A and B are shown apart, each in its own frame.
Chain A
Amino acid sequence: MEETVGCARVTSTVTGEEPTSTPEPQPSERKEPTMTVRVGQKAPDFTSPAYYKGGFTSVKLSDFAGKWVLLCFYPGDFTFV
């Protein structure tokens, strides 16, 4: 089936019967770390693998302490916008 080529990244979906053997996760396991960022609050620090000027390296936000940082998330490489 032909799909519309849009900006949304399509992903896979599991089809067929629902697995019955999977136990319901316990409330304690289901708990996600819910971090909410807000202006005026400290930016969460992170380390990520990165591509930088022809090489593979890692980048750590706090390495740029003392500078202004423009942090830009985007949906994916080779998307249209």
Chain B
Amino acid sequence: MSAVADKYPLLQELGVEVISVSVDSHFVHKMWNDYELVRMVEGGIPFHMASDQAGNVGRAYGVWDETQGVELRGRFIIDPDGVIQAMEMLTPPVGRRIAESVRQIQAFQHVRASGGKEATPAGWEPGKVTLKPNPDLVGRVWEVWKPDME
């Protein structure tokens, strides 16, 4: 969570709000923040740390592990209309790469701003070439994009 907090200023610039969710109570969230996370990121966690002790939210999002009674490491990108644009789920021992979430958000924002007229190829980052799907592009993507451009 401290890794997400570290990228929070950048996420705010992109108009992104963050909510973290676990089965711990909000009291434990406070202790974790005050005792440990504040030593990893200046000022502590700047976003809402939600508590889902009964697992209701986790169940609704398909990340509930009923054998351990915890949420799996699920990550969702939700657009301004409340629609899920991306989801990722990891087992507990492997952490996320926040930079990849940022990259995906930037790509979804670009596509949205284009009104769906543009698509972003693999590995796209701001400034790189996008694809403009139209009949003339069929079978000719190779002319404008190659894997080494990723």
8 Å CB contact of B94 from A43, A62, A81: A81
Q: Does A44 contact B (CB under 8 A)?
A: yes
The smallest beta-carbon distance between A72 and chain B, in angstroms, is: 5
Interface string of B2-29 (1 = CB under 8 A from A): 0010000001001111111111111111
The smallest beta-carbon distance between A35 and chain B, in angstroms, is: 5
The smallest beta-carbon distance between A64 and chain B, in angstroms, is: 5
Contacts A32-B59, A50-B51, A52-B49 given: A42-B20 contact, CB under 8 Å? no
- A64 cross-chain contacts in B, Cβ below 8 A: 17, 19
Q: Does A49 contact B (CB under 8 A)?
A: yes
Q: Does A41 contact B (CB under 8 A)?
A: yes
Which stretch in B84-92, B113-121, B126-134, B141-149 binds the other chain? Answer: B84-92
8 Å CB contact of A7 from B18, B21, B67, B92: B92
8 Å CB contact of A70 from B16, B26, B109: B16
- A78 cross-chain contacts in B, Cβ below 8 A: 28, 32, 36
Please measure, in the bound complex, the distance between the C-alpha atom of A72 and the C-alpha atom of B63, giving whole angstroms.
10
Q: Does A37 contact B (CB under 8 A)?
A: yes
Interface string of A32-63 (1 = CB under 8 A from B): 11011111111111101111110011010110
Contacts A40-B84, A68-B80 given: A73-B26 contact, CB under 8 Å? no
Query: Is the beta-carbon distance between B22 and A69 smaller than 8 angstroms?
Result: no
Query: Is the beta-carbon distance between A81 and B92 smaller than 8 angstroms?
Result: yes
Q: Which of B17, B28, B29, B62 has the most CB of A within 10 A?
A: B17
Residues of A near any B CB (own CB < 8 A): 6-11, 32-33, 35-46, 48-53, 56-57, 59, 61-62, 64-79, 81
Residues of B near any A CB (own CB < 8 A): 1, 4, 11, 14-33, 36, 44-52, 56-63, 67-87, 92-96, 101, 105, 108-109
